[in-house]
Amino acid sequence: MRFSFTTERIPLSAGDWFILGALGALFAVGTYWLLATIYFRFTTEVPARGGAMTEGIVGTPRFINPVLAISDADRDATELLFAGLMHPTLSGMQPDLAEGYTLSDDRRTYTFTLRPDAVFHDGTRVTADDVAFTIARIQDPAIKSPKRPNWEGVAVAVSDERTISFTLREPYAPFLDNTDVGIIPKRLWDTVRPDEFPFSKLNVEPVGAGPFRVQRLVTNASGIPERLDLTAFSRAIHPPFIESYTLRFFSDPNALALAVSRDSTLAAHSITPEMSAGQRAYDAVFGRVFAVFFNQNENALFASRAVRSALDAALDKEALVRTLIGGYGSVAVGPLPKESSADNTPWSADRAASILAADGWLRGEDGIWTKTVKKSTTRLAFTLTTSNAPELKQAAELVADSWRALGADVTVAYFDQNDLQQDVIRPRKYDALLFGIVVGRDADLFAFWDSSQRNDPGLNIALYTNADVDAILRKTRTAEDPTERTALAEKAADIIAKEVAAVFLYTPHFLYLTDPRVRGVTLDTIVTPADRFASITDWYIDTERIWPIFR
């Protein structure tokens, strides 16, 4: 039997083609879905280099130089452009330009070894001579560096190109905080005399070793900076993900707030979320405590704890927080910037009056409290002094109004910031001073509350004296364990608060708005606004996906 096969094409109908096409499409979609599922399930999204960010800043920089930086605009630009031996992180101080450091047995000498790959933006190596030169310029009184107090009495020794030592007069545990100061290149600055330092063009054409370098500085017709364009420095020890960063300078807070309300990609600090155009909002505890400090040398009234306690009890501090800073802050419970607890003793005008009455004070027909001791009558009268900055002026009026309602005769005096420092604070010429203190990352209260700091240049503006607190604060400065230092600082703060050494008012929050596309932003306690950039190299806009094997 023979079989034969013939090949004959059977034409497909339109319906057949439709079915085949549908099956093919389903197969393609299914394959794509399967591959996409595998891809997204087994790959990880990670930050990628790229993207641009713009930030608005009030004021214009004059000194983009870590030796001279004094304004917020100066410090912001300096933080982005310069790098130090160490760098603050959420887990403490970590090496930056330094490879590491050792501490001598007597805990007075810190020896740093520089990384061999540390370079400035112009490609030259960062050496120990550059570090020594930077510190020498900070220590030079002719240059008037605001960082000079941090480096007074520190001896500097260069061992070789990569090794430098700092020897302190006595152990000081928070010293590492000072080593985040940006390093300037000796090669460029060595020929600039101290008296010419503030006028060098290098202050606005900076060369550092930080995560960003200058691309261009844009000025207006008068030569005033309007914009500073930065680009990522690929050879930085910690190169950033964000490729370009632009700082725009505004003449005043209102102009910045208006710009923020119109542009959701514009970052800014100290602008409330209510004024944003959709930016992502962050807040952190600000390392500042505002208080009224008393000078019993100028007015003996304040030697009385009863008077201080009554003035403290008469203030509705929660109302101050709401009125002055829109609720973005907390009532201060002592000299450390931290969140207040729910069990704070509430304010009470009646309790304040009772404290005075129990101490022998009588309220006169004019409503003012008086006290007579040995035929000498004292009125509850004093002057409250503060800066003419809008927030402090408003705070002083609110505080004075509350104290007037209590029965105190209060006069308010305002000074511009420079006059306040030179003519009031330094010579200690005030009865009561409404002012803010800045507490560093290590919560070191020594400069503000140790009795040795009562006179200028010390910062003990309460002229506070307590031998127990002195002993605690001095132990705090030498304790190696950060946990122990924190516990000691809190112990001293509790004593200071219980003695009503000052009337502590509020601790503001640091508010920061960013382009909503920016991720990776983390804020720890902020001491100066520039501290928001501590994690700048972790911020990112663009992303990519990678297989775990390539991580």
Domain ranges of the chain: 44-64+214-279+515-551, 83-209, 288-509
This prediction's pTM: 0.84
Q: In the structure, what pLDDT confidence band is assigned to residue 314 with cuts at 50, 70 and 90?
A: very high
CATH architecture of 44-64+214-279+515-551: 3-Layer(aba) Sandwich (3.40)
Token pair listed for 292: 């009224």
Q: How far is CA 322 from CA 274, 284, 293, 325, in A?
A: 14, 17, 22, 6
Chain CA centroid to CA 277, Å: 24
Range with lowest mean pLDDT among 109-118, 269-278, 418-427, 465-474: 269-278
Averaged over 34-55, what is the pLDDT?
80
CATH class for the region spanning 83-209: alpha beta
Q: Name the residue among 296, 313, 306 with its Cα closest to residue 361.
A: 306
The residue type of 180 is D
CATH topology match: 83-209 vs 288-509: no
Backbone angles phi, psi at 108, to 5 degrees: -115, -20
Average pLDDT, the chain: 91
Contact 509, 283 (CB under 8 A): yes
* Model confidence at 384: pLDDT above 70: yes
Q: Which CATH superfamily is domain 288-509 in?
A: Dipeptide-binding Protein; Domain 3 (3.10.105.10)
- Residue 547 burial (CB < 10 Å; 0-12/13-18/19+)? exposed
* Model confidence at 5: pLDDT above 60: no
- The string of pLDDT tens digits covering residues 329-349 is 999 999 999 765 555 678 889
- The string of pLDDT tens digits covering residues 72-106 is 999 999 999 999 999 998 778 999 999 999 999 99
What integer pLDDT is reported at residue 512 of this predicted model? Answer: 94
Contact 347, 314 (CB under 8 A): yes
